[in-house]
Structure formats: C-alpha cells, structure tokens
Amino acid sequence: QKEVEQDPGPLSVPEGAIVSLNCTYSNSAFQYFMWYRQYSRKGPELLMYTYSSGNKEDGRFTAQVDKSSKYISLFIRDSQPSDSATYLCAMFGGATNKLIFGTGTLLAVQP
Amino acid sequence: DTGVSQNPRHKITKRGQNVTFRCDPISEHNRLYWYRQTLGQGPEFLTYFQNEAQLEKSRLLSDRFSAERPKGSFSTLEIQRTEQGDSAMYLCASSFGNKDEQYFGPGTRLTVT
C-alpha cells in the first residue's frame, strides 16, 4: 500500500464548476501538506502549503486538512480551462522533509 | 527570474553513456532536493542537501547515480552507464529551511535510447 493515495482521474468538468480533489495518507507523522499543479512536460508549481489540520484559502483555491481522518482536499471555485492540468498532493513530517507525492489527478475543464 | 533553473531541459543519450544535469536553486535557499518522475506517477525523492552536505539518499539512488553540491550553491546529478529504465523527468527543488515550501524547477527530461 502506498503512503499517499490519490485518484488519478481523469476528471472532466464544465467551466465554472467547483472542483474537489482529494488524497488520503497512512503515515500519522505527516504534518505539512502541499498541493502542486503540473502542466504537461513542466515542473510542479506550488499552489497551497498548510501545516496540520484546518483550512487555508487563496483566491479560488481552498485547501483542507483533516488529520484525524488522514484526508486532505483541494477545492477550486469557478474553474477555468487554464486550470486544466495534473494536480499533485504532497506531504512530509517526522524526521525527514522529503516530499511524498500522490500519483496526481488529471483535470480537464471544458469551455 | 529568481526561480529554480535546470539545464539541460532535455537530454537524449544512448544506453551506456554518462550524463550530468545541473540545478541552480533559488538564491539563499539552503536546501536542495532531487526527485525523479516517470509518466503517470508523482515525483519520487532521490536525495537532498543542506548547504554542501548530502543528508539523505533514497534507495532509488543506485551506485550509478551521484549528486554533488559544491560550495552549497548549484548541484549536479550524474548518471553513469545509463539504462533505458533511467528515462524519466529529473526534478530539482529548493527550500529555505527544513519546514519550508519546496519550489521546483522545470525539470530535465532524460531519454535513453
């Protein structure tokens, strides 16, 4: 079993929809959680960075962390075709800060 | 541009050849990381440096792989005697401190023929 599980999709939504992306994890030592956006053949771009449980909002993006359930989410409001990309969750904690990534969810926003 | 830079962006090599990649981190970032990403997968950790010290290496980093960060600035990742299984995107990231965000470069895409 992988330490971080993420549905690979693909997920297709119409423009303007609210998108919900999720990851589950098994290592209770994880305390720092990130979401990255990756366009095809490009490097990952950091979207959100959160520590421990709670919510964080930045523009159209909201990140949620529920450590009791070992579950994290990224919500995208008013989705745009330019949001079409692969979204990667990543996390670290304990004695190391190497990032453990999910496999990524491929999102397509249809105009 | 003050982001992480990587060179070359794309490298095609024949099996058995050696290749070297370079990463320039964000200025003043003490930590530098190398990851490898294959198609349809998330990046996997290879190794990281704090300043010039290499602090952790993944079991993925076989003895054909070596990484350096002389003087704690740029880093190089060398792969000796490349194999087709080494074909991947090699990503570099940097952070200021050990609990800080990691920012990624554009990656070097390696194709071994």
B50-87 pLDDT, tens digit per residue, is 999 999 999 988 899 999 999 889 999 999 999 999 99
* Residue-level pLDDT at B1: 54
Closest in A44, A98, A100 to B104, CB measured: A44
Grouping H, G, I as helix, E, B as strand and the rest as coil, residue B84 is helix
Q: How far apart are CA A54 and CA A32, in angstroms?
A: 12
Q: What are the CA-CA distances from residue A71 to residues A23, A65, A100, B16 (Å)?
A: 6, 6, 14, 43
- The mean per-residue pLDDT over the stretch A91-110 comes to 93
Q: Are B101 and A99 in contact (CB under 8 A)?
A: no
Give B35's contacts (C-beta < 8 A, 6+ positions apart): A99, B43, B44, B45, B46, B90, B91, B92, B93, B104
- The mean per-residue pLDDT over the stretch A44-72 comes to 95
Q: Are B78 and B66 in contact (CB under 8 A)?
A: yes
Q: Which of A7, A97, A101, A105 to mutate to test the interface with B (most CBs of B within 10 A)?
A: A97
Does A102 lie at the interface with B, CB-CB under 8 angstroms? yes
Q: Is residue A10 pLDDT above 90, yes or no?
A: yes
Q: Is residue B92 pLDDT above 70, yes or no?
A: yes
Q: Is residue B45 pLDDT above 90, yes or no?
A: yes
